[in-house]
Structure 1
Amino acid sequence: MSADDDAPDPIEDAATRWAIEQDAGLSDDGIAALEQWLGSDPRHPPAFEKARAAWRFMGHPAIRSEVTQRRLSEPPLPGYPPVGRPEGKRKWIAPAVAASVALLVAGAIGDWPTALRSDAMTATGEQRTMTLADGSQVQLNTDSAISIDYQPDRRIVHVLKGEAAFSVARDPRRPFSVEAKGGSTTALGTRFIVDRHADRTQITVTLHSVRVAAPGAGASIAIVKEGQSVRYDRNGVGSVRTVDANAVSAWTRKRLVFVDQPLRAVVAELNRYHPGYIGIIGTDLGNRRVSGIFRTDNPVAALDTLQASLKLASIRLTDRVIFIHD
């Protein structure tokens, strides 16, 4: 798990700041500052249009009004121009870009390109277990997809996105391999988890061993045994390390286990299971250490537990969009 994988993009952050500022009404200085920002980088205009579309999608009047009123009721942040009302004060919750985009993608567009390529797929917060033709089992985690390519002499499953746990039926005549982002994991009579991220893939073995191969400048092959994990990316296969496989596989039992993790990493993981967005206001708060066990099928209840144990408050724009703060 890595909070960095789910961290908001700074350009999208700024774009949604401006989209909501424009919706609330910009002063002359604000309009000039927006135009300057749009012209300062060719990536800014498309990001701004995407943010405007996302904000419109979120656009239940009560939600939009509450965000705007909260923003106008607090002292202005340094470095940002005032909004249209000269007397207005504001506070912007930076991670709202992730909320807007997540809601737009999950609620309106969906991942149709992946859906067309997949043989099995889960939505956000959904988990699914399926038995393949050879008796092997695959458990898909939230927002995951696979395609299946069984041939007379081989068995291949492609992880198109997300995370999947495999329990492989033995068949010496037909090797079982899982492919993701150019790499391949071949079962040696085993149970293992493949977690595909945007920039890397992580393999964790919970029983017996696997052979992991990937092209790149680094090591190209590694044997990973029970209780071990390895990552590969465009640079090749990394170093094999010992992990708590029981904790890594906890999601297969609808649990998430955290031991002395920063709150931002915990919230990033909860966001994988929440059909909306959970954000943190404040860098220092995101660094606070957390240990606990939470259920994957009720991320809002997990957040309630975190709030109570850490004595935090929250802003809830319905249970779909939640910001926690001191």
Structure 2
Amino acid sequence: MNRRIAEQAADWALRLADGISEPERLDFDAWLRRDPAHGRAFDRARRIMGEAGMALRLDTDFTRRLLRRPEKRGGPTAIVVLLVLAAAGGAFLAADGPLRLRADFVSAAGDMPRIALSDGSYVTLNGESAIAAHFDAGTRSVTLLKGEAYFEVASDPARPFVVTAGPGRIEARGTAFDVNLVGGEVDVTVTEHTVAVKATAAGAETLLASGRRLAYDDQGILRRPEPVPEGFETPWRQGRLIFEDRPLSMVAEEIFRHLPGKVVVADRALAGRRISGSFDLADPEAALASFATAFGLRVAHLGSVLTVIY
């Protein structure tokens, strides 16, 4: 990558993160159109900015030096990401601060608590998950803030039980169901009775019966419901992750609900690689090593804070 273009991309990434005026936005759009290499350089800079977040903006000189480095294949790319994320480690750890202020229940990595709610319902949290609950005389409302939760809902016809997750809501109809926030999507799986799912881009509710699953994306667009093989509805509750034709980035996110620290897939093409398999949660560190070997991946650890898959 041309160093001058990399420098310009780094500057634009930082300026956009801080906010720009409308004339500056027009200048940026013109710069992007001028050369296809500009768009590639900006995507790389934005990708690194997105992974490192606040820490990179706090030390702009350090950030520019890292963003301006030419991108190379293989090991050097992972090393650059490790350096960036090493600087951002403190910000990663602090990033859940606002979420914790909103949450009523939070689980740590590898922790899967079953929690009794005030109405007699139960919720089991997957690792690295959080919910906020608001119950009053007329409603029972739960917001899934992060991760995954399995709900066993107590009957109360006078008070609907509604879970909000991303740009959608799930209303229980006397039921048990799982809601998973992963990779910018929301997956809903029903294990007993029925739920009504309504996403922002859908005109009407979709009824989802036991043994079926659907997803909606961050724009509220529903995918077609599909059957789930018996015993595969919520494998994490039995100590396994099972994934079929899923992007590596999503699989990594779910794996690291059971391992300490954060995970980054260093290359966009690799992050989108679709894989199938299973993962044993009894010994997640050993399983991660076997998983990487099976799929030809390399893993670099920065203590227990950060892991890079490349």
Q: Which TM-score band applies after superposition, normalised by the shorter structure? A: 0.5 to 0.7
* TM-score of the superposed pair, with normalisation by structure 1: 0.65
Corresponding residue for residue 43 of structure 1: 16
| Residue 209 of structure 1: how far off its partner (Å) | 0.8
Alignment deviations for residues 216-259 of structure 1 (CA, whole Å, 9 cap, x no partner): 3x332110001112233544544322234633411223321134
- Contact kept? 2:113, 2:126, Cα under 8 Å: yes
Corresponding residue for residue 266 of structure 1: 251
SS at match of 1:164: strand
Give the share of equivalent positions with the same residue, in percent. Answer: 29
SS at match of 1:239: coil
Deviates more, 1:254-263 or 1:177-186: 254-263
| Residue 168 of structure 1: how far off its partner (Å) | 0.9
- 1:249 and 2:234 aligned: yes
Alignment deviations for residues 151-194 of structure 1 (CA, whole Å, 9 cap, x no partner): 22332222222221101112223222212335321111111011
- Contact kept? 1:276, 1:320, Cα under 8 Å: yes
Alignment deviations for residues 74-95 of structure 1 (CA, whole Å, 9 cap, x no partner): xx8659xxxxxxxxxx923155
CA distance in structure 2 between the partners assigned to 1:116 and 1:49 by the alignment = 18
* Structure label with greater radius of gyration: 1
- Contact kept? 2:107, 2:125, Cα under 8 Å: yes
Pairing of 1:87-236 with structure 2 (within 5 A): 91-93=76-78, 95-96=81-82, 99-100=85-86, 103-107=89-93, 109-197=94-182, 199-216=184-201, 218-232=202-216, 233-236=218-221
Alignment deviations for residues 267-290 of structure 1 (CA, whole Å, 9 cap, x no partner): 343234332244557757984844
SS at match of 2:157: coil
- Contact kept? 1:38, 1:44, Cα under 8 Å: no
- Residues 95 and 256 of structure 1: is their aligned pair in 2 closer, same or farther, counting only changes over 3 Å? farther
Pairs aligned (count): 267
SS at match of 1:123: coil
CA distance in structure 1 between the partners assigned to 2:299 and 2:146 by the alignment = 31
- Residues 222 and 288 of structure 1: is their aligned pair in 2 closer, same or farther, counting only changes over 3 Å? closer
CA distance in structure 1 between the partners assigned to 2:183 and 2:247 by the alignment = 21
- Following TM superposition, where does structure 1 have runs of at least 4 consecutive aligned residues deviating by more than 6 angstroms? none
Q: Give ranges in structure 1 of 5+ residues lacking alignment.
A: 1-13, 15-28, 56-75, 80-89
CA distance in structure 2 between the partners assigned to 1:323 and 1:114 by the alignment = 24
What amino acid maps onto 2:16 in structure 1?
A: R
